[in-house]
Structure 1
């Protein structure tokens, strides 16, 4: 079992943490909620962390419980709303199944020792059943965490109506709101106590000093992340066309057709691996000589803190990024360029000037950006409960 950590992180009376995430992707991308749940399960005073995800394949709480460790479990909840309105037409069978899940949730958390006096409820909105969860789960304290601002996505995305409905009311729910960007801090700090944290990195991404390899005649330029509205696919295409001696290695899922329709994937020096399990990403980072953050500067991207930044730096590789928010902490270690021509020039310069000393400095920086330190910061900001 991993060593216990964060002796003073969690107030001693909050020994049970119930965390609700809005997607069913545990073990896939290593997202923020997964790192926080795992970190909390290693804190001294925590007896149980239960992560509850929305069911994606019709699972129920009683059929889906996954024991990750003696203090960490994951379950899928059948709770499928058709929209934000409480007046929804459902079949009798669906209504009965939903009611059974409500009772099952109460039984499950009580069987694991959750009581109002010892429970910390950690919610990631926009969550389709946020209000229902607040009513159903008595808790001594509630933390709301905002990763991205989903009021800024396309209005056809399922996140959008829930975000528009829930975000203005978070102050009435939360004892603390945790955010990962300056824009979100400005947006939510007027509602409740608010703490801003950066993303962090798992130790699995940390390179060894012997991993340094100088770029050869065909450098590998890499991007890891989701391809969607924030990704500057045209910049990636320009890199591939104007640096034909470089290979472009792309890792991550596509949420719309912009990548597939761009013509980028048909170029001979481009390799797209699609979505990979998070534990396979460090191996792909080792193949890269330089890492890219080609994000568009939009209101949505300004609400983010790119997790890939810390994963890249942990691999020891040089990083070239477009000028977006969330890079300040590592600003001295990466190249940030607003102009596409300067972006390409920065790639050439960073490849030519890389060294074992720079490699080690990046890894050393990343080693200090732990999830333990981020969780400590969030919990230190939680108002003390009686």
Structure 2
């Protein structure tokens, strides 16, 4: 089966998202997989940052292959971005119609002129519904993109058109499921995020850059982006000197750079930047608490945080605001009022005290809850949907 993922993130992103896990499971099942995107535009060429140089190199070389998955980066003359002359609906709806060289020719050259499954994950995928002949199409809806500052507000309209245009929608949260149904989705399935099996591994050697000493360490693993609320965490760094606070992940919200630099001067705070995903379990296994310090917003109301499952699989108690998804799961959680600095500190203290009181029994309880939330189980649900949509079982479950 030929599977094409139309994406807005690099295939080799250091902190993989749901689609990264799913395409690897499709590949593991023996299917021919292509990761398409994110697109480049003339405005990106020549920029000094590493990310754009990396994408340009892949475009210039006609694509690459990572772990048996092909990756193609198109160059489009029309780019959709939240800047003057670039934020029009026309640009958002037609990014892949103006590629150099033409996208259809590039796909023909590598054997993807037609596909069995067209997996849409970013707004640019809308035009692909017409460009690429396919047997089944789906849209993995993981965010309300109109809540991100760098994306034009009109992206909500494009998302709704994508929802209505595909054969079925996979919504990662209850909020997104409701929105997809309201937006005319033909078939909408609630499929939350999951956790990689590697987070269930026994504790290994402590990473050399992990905080040393006897203080317990509260860890945040993931992108530091629009959702991240630094104020409660900064308050906890000052008010809880007996606790280390460790951030691991890329800094996407540039305005926080100065504040994080200031916190770096504190003995009990450390930001390590992005790390290879395969090293993430080692950091969590030596932590004491997992943190999800998110704002209370329309964006976070629709979030199903992958890190929640990763923390629990590593045996960590979780401190987070009462996000709708977390409350609906009824899993282990030390909730605090979003934005409330004192309540955040209370929740961290409570989680640490729980470790002392519950010990290994509490840890195993959290691991057991996470064990039923793995990506492989979610993938099984997807294959069952594909069978219902007419892809023969021999194709869906084919092993290499």
Q: TM-score range by the shorter chain?
A: 0.7 to 0.9
Residue 221 of structure 1 deviates from its aligned partner by 1.0
Query: For residue 148 of structure 2, what is the aligned residue in structure 1?
Result: 153
Return closer, same or farther for 1:306/1:42 CA change in 2, 3 Å cut-off.
same
CA distance in 2, matches of 1:162, 1:29: 27
Aligned length: 350
- The offset of 1:121, in angstroms, is 0.4
- How does 1:29-178 map onto structure 2 within 5 Å? 29-43=15-29, 46-54=30-38, 55=40, 56=52, 57-58=55-56, 59-60=58-59, 63-69=62-68, 72-79=69-76, 81-82=78-79, 83=86, 84=88, 98-110=100-112, 115=114, 119-127=116-124, 130-154=125-149, 157=150, 159-161=151-153, 163-178=155-170
Match of 1:344 in 2: 345
Structure 1: any 5+ residue segments left out of the alignment? 1-14, 89-94
Q: 1:8: which partner in 2?
A: none
Q: Return closer, same or farther for 1:173/1:352 CA change in 2, 3 Å cut-off.
A: same
Distance in 1 between the 2:98 and 2:128 partners? 18
Answer whether contact 2:8 2:37 (CA < 8 A) is retained.
Answer: yes
The Cα of 1:330 is off from its aligned counterpart by 4.9
- Match runs of 1:186-335 below 5 Å: 186-190=178-182, 191-192=184-185, 193-208=187-202, 217-262=214-259, 263-328=262-327, 330-335=329-334
Q: C-alpha deviations, 1:244-303, integer Å up to 9, x for none?
A: 111111111112234323343332211000111211211221231111111111001111
Moved more, 186-195 or 95-104: 95-104
Contact 1:67-1:73 at 8 Å conserved across structures: yes
Whole-angstrom CA distance in 2 between matches of 1:18 and 1:306: 25
- Take 2:279 and 2:78, find their aligned partners in 1: how far apart are those partners? 34
| Residue number in structure 1 paired with 2:370 | 366
Partner of 1:91: none
Q: CA deviation at 1:161?
A: 4.7
1:164 CA displacement: 2.9
**1:99/1:85 CA distance change after superposition, 3 Å:** farther
Query: Cα offset for 1:217?
Result: 4.5
Q: Tell me if structure 2 keeps the 8 A contact 1:207–1:316.
A: no
Instruction: Output the CA distance in 1 between the equivalents of 2:201 and 2:271.
Output: 23
- 1:61, 1:77 within 8 Å by CA — same for their partners in 2? no
Q: Secondary structure at the match of 2:152?
A: helix
Residues of 2 paired with 1:202 and 1:269: CA distance?
29
Other structure's SS at 2:312 match: helix
Tell whether the 8 Å contact from 2:63 to 2:70 is kept in structure 1 after alignment: no
2:8 to 8, 22, 25: 22
SS of the residue aligned with 2:325? coil
C-alpha distance in structure 2 between counterparts of 1:315 and 1:348, whole Å: 19
Greater CA drift, 234-243 or 27-36 = 27-36
What is the CA–CA distance in structure 2 between the aligned matches of 1:323 and 1:172, rounded to whole Å? 31
Q: 1:360: how far off? A: 1.7
3-state DSSP of counterpart to 1:248: strand
Counterpart contact for 2:289–2:317, Cα < 8 Å: yes
Helix, strand or coil at the partner of 2:224: coil
User: 3-state DSSP class of the match of 2:241?
Assistant: coil
2:47 matched residue in structure 1: none
TM-score normalised by structure 1 residue count = 0.82
Q: How far did residue 62 of structure 1 move? A: 5.5
Counterpart secondary structure, 1:177: strand
Alpha carbons of structure 1 residues 283 and 168: separation in structure 2 relative to 1, 3 Å: same
Distance 1:210 1:227 in 2: 26
**What's the offset of the Cα at 1:28?**
1.5
How far off its partner does 1:51 sit?
Answer: 1.6
Structure 2 unmatched ranges of 5 or more? 41-51, 80-85, 207-211, 392-400
Q: CA deviation at 1:362?
A: 1.7
The answer on whether the counterparts of 1:232 and 1:296 sit within 8 Å (CA) in structure 2 is yes
User: TM-score, normalization: structure 2?
Assistant: 0.79
Secondary structure, counterpart of 1:350 in structure 2: helix
Q: CA deviation at 1:329?
A: 5.8
Contact 1:228 / 1:258 at 8 angstroms: preserved in 2? no
